[in-house]
Amino acid sequence: MNPYTQISNGEYIIREFSPNVQSEELVWHRDKRDRVVEVLSGTNWGFQTDDELPMELKVGDVLEIKAETYHRVFKGNDTLKLKIKE
């Protein structure tokens, strides 16, 4: 089971992480495709890629995540909502 819910319209994915998610569920992982991720909402959530320091996610941030790059999300205070384009 995934630590998020999502909907897709074929063009992009809207993914939401609940503030009730367990931190242990937010594991290091990598994706098979390049992704562009835009932060739509969320407070005090973090993001980290392999060999980099964690950064705080802010509304309006746009992240480019290359395929097969290890990364993870850190739990914040409220719902994290992301727009993902592959």
* Number of residues written out for the chain: 86
Q: Residue 25's pLDDT is what?
A: 97
Alpha-carbon span 83 to 50, nearest angstrom: 22
Angle at alpha carbon of residue 83, lines to 80 and 86, rounded to 5°: 135
pLDDT band at 1 (very low <50, low <70, confident <90, very high): confident
| Joined tokens for residue 11 | 């063009």
Global pTM exceeds 0.75: yes
Tell me which residue range forms the domain holding 71. 5-85
The enclosing domain of 45 has a CATH number of: 2.60.120.10
> pLDDT digit string (tens) for 6-55?
999 999 999 999 999 999 999 999 999 999 999 999 999 999 999 999 99
- Overall number of domains in the chain: 1
